[in-house]
A and B are shown apart, each in its own frame.
Chain A
Amino acid sequence: MITRKVVRFLDERSNTAPFLRKTLRYLFPDHWSFLLGEVALYCFIVLVATGTYLALFYTDSTATVVYHGPYVPLQGQQMTEAYKSVVDISTTVKAGLLIRQTHHWAADVFVAAIVLHVLRIFFTGAYRKPRELTYWIGLTMLMVTLLEGFLGYSLADDLLSGMGLAIAYGVALSIPFAGANLAALIWGGPFPGTHSFFARMYIAHVFLIPALLAVLITAHLALVALRHHTQFRSTRATERRLVGVPLFPGQTPRSLGLLFAVAGVLFLLGGLVQINPIWLWGPYHTYSATNGAQPDWYLGWLIGALRLVPGFDVTIDGYTLVPNPFWGGVLFPLLVFGFLLVWPFAERHATGDYGYHNVLDRPRDAPWRTAIGFAVLAWVFMIFLAGSADRIDVLFDLPYTAQIFVYRIVIWIAPVVVGVIAYRVCTELQAGERVERDRGRARREAEFS
């Protein structure tokens, strides 16, 4: 009875009952890999909630203060107000550390979920017509998210975040022709920049980029719903016929359950597993740095690339054209994202397949795509591993320089090896299926005769 009253109230005022009826019957194909994007969405919700709370205590000022708080090892030290406010959130604000750590964990899981989601989309060919726009918006969100995460841990202004900003400055400077002008614009002058630089990062981190992400998420989900989900092939599921669980009642408790599970795990991590203890790193000064610094995982591939490039600047007669960080810090991510962005065109051009696809490929169904995808993945992953060579040096006593020389060769061999193996596995699986099919047919024929 109450349901009818609410529905009538809404329908009379919004004319939406037909739309609502269709929406409740929107079908979700039943496969676990379709939930990766949802995990990312729920992380975003947790990030907005925890981030808003943190913003109530954070100070975006680089004015110098002397610490006199309860954390003894920092007492009497000079630091920025920004760093002091984050130390205070972690020490004196009740539940502040829980929220801060949950925010940090949510960011790490957010990017991980997006990356896994992209891999699923790539290896099943879900980006094909008519879903290229959805795919490009998704990749844009991944790029924006990397920047958002970097800005987030830069705002703390501890030693590690300052080192990260110095590197970002070096990378920005290295952009050919306009790098110095760009860096001067962003930082307001040479590093460490003007006193308003943190205000710039702050507004970008808490407003500009989250607002952009919210718009892109809306467009992404709207496009998914307008064209409906893709699905794996079955006897019932075909290019024209979609099979799935309706939004209500089937999918609703599942998705809500996932939302609460993601939030629950993130708060458990935030409470029980320490992450980025900024009070241990201490405040940043231009003249200080620490050994064994590792960024958040999703920047590991860039650290690896920056470290692997041999030491040279492109110069003409002593006149520098392209400084070194450009290769690892700008060109490398551009190549990887460029590959992902143009892949739908390239594949269409190579295969001549311009058709609509609602049914997904399994990785084995498209051996070339799988092989090339795995090759690129191996390339990026080896470079990512190279980013931790200094930790391997400390843990296993393998000389750093020797490791780097090996990596400089391995990153070119690994993609070939991995690509060939992936291709072989795909064709073998296909052959196995063919044999099974033929056997089944022979058996049926034998039974009939």
Chain B
Amino acid sequence: MRVRDALIAGALLLAGRRPPKRPRAREVPPGEPNPRAELLVIALFGLAALSACAFVAVYALDRIPDQTQFLGLSLGLALLFVAAGLIVTAHKLIVTEQLEDEYPPDEHPAEQEAIEHRVVDSGSRITRKRLFGLALGGAAGAIGVAVLAPVASLGPVVDMDPFYATPWRKGRRLVDQNGRPWRASDIEESDFYTAFPEGADRENVASPVVVVRVAARYLDLPPANRGYDAHGVVAYSKICTHAGCAIALYRTPLFQPNEPKPALVCPCHYSTFNPGTGGTVEFGPAGRKLPMLPLEIDANGFLRAAGTFDEPVGPSWWGVRMRGAHQA
């Protein structure tokens, strides 16, 4: 038995022997093995796998404190371990050779000419080239316009009416955020109040107004706004005429002796308006005064609009003063 096995094994060994491979030219030059770097990379990939498992574990847990932080930490570390492994591979385990190559030719004159000739020759059967081109261009242009025309459905492209409309009209009461009407006596000198037209949409830019009480020594309304105040209580559109933010700051002279006048300030670009002089611009980039709302006090002491704004509301546009604000 043993002899037969040995014979078969020997025969196989002899028969299986192939002529030795021709040594081929290497595509990438050889380099020394680096077992320590290899071990490090394997360890880094192992850590990456562990961190990824940790991420799944943290995710699977029910809500725990700082879950977002642990999720970010485990996933971020997993990715960074892979990155570290790859970078060690690049620097220690792979032969990075600086090779040379020719830049491609700057141009191919023969091919350029052939392309040109192909185009020119193809058109030789067309005798009225300009007319042909014009017709083709006209068709393409018209189809382009036709395809783009439905874009006009997006908005009122030419109707500027909505830009001038406001919900304010004579007699409309000023209400607070909860719909409670403001009394003139609620408005105190050192504070500022937001008011809306009773029953109107509050998100409309033409709705919100700021209401302040201006001390008599600062109240000097221009002729156009004479009588817009109700015993020193004035109201202006809350939307800045510069870029449309809400005017959310009120500077009163009470606490700032160095600031001479009360001022309404927009926190976006710090346009500053004087509430005592019809909303004129004191500082900042606004190019138009704040629209002023005329006020009156009814028999029960509630504040009511005595009309609508003296100017269109919101940021300016080309020809903004062409028309005045009007009731919606």
Contacts and interface: CB of A to CB of B under 8 A. Distances in A.
Given A181-B158, A245-B99, A257-B83, A289 B245 contact: yes
Interface in A322-370: 322-325, 328-329, 356, 358
A243 B319 CA distance: 61
B284 A250 contact: no
B314 A257 contact: no
A194 B154 CA distance: 9
Contact of A243 (B84, B98, B202, B248): B98
13 contacts: A130-B106, A163-B245, A181-B158, A181-B160, A185-B152, A244-B98, A257-B90, A264-B76, A264-B79, A268-B73, A291-B248, A307-B270, A325-B285
Contacts of B268: 163, 166-167, 289, 293, 306
A240 interface: yes
Contacts of A250: 90, 94-97
A116 interface: no
B246 A288 contact: yes
Contacts, number: 309
B208 interface: yes
B179 to A, nearest CB: 13
Contacts of A177: 318
B321 interface: yes
Interface in A151-187: 163, 166-167, 169-171, 173-181, 183-187
Nearest to B320: A320
Contact of B319 (A311, A320, A356, A358): A320
A190 interface: yes
A265 interface: yes
Nearest to B78: A264
B285 A311 contact: yes
Contacts of B132: none
Contacts of A400: 270
Interface in A387-424: 390, 400-401, 404
- Size category of the binding interface on chain A: 35 or more
Interface stretch (A94-102, A139-147, A207-215): A94-102
Contacts of B219: none
A10 interface: no
A306 B245 CA distance: 13
A242 interface: yes
Interface string B240-270: 0011111111000000000000000011111
Interface string B307-328: 0000000111111111000000
Nearest to B51: A264
A168 to B, nearest CB: 9
Nearest to A285: B203
B45 to A, nearest CB: 11
A196 to B, nearest CB: 9
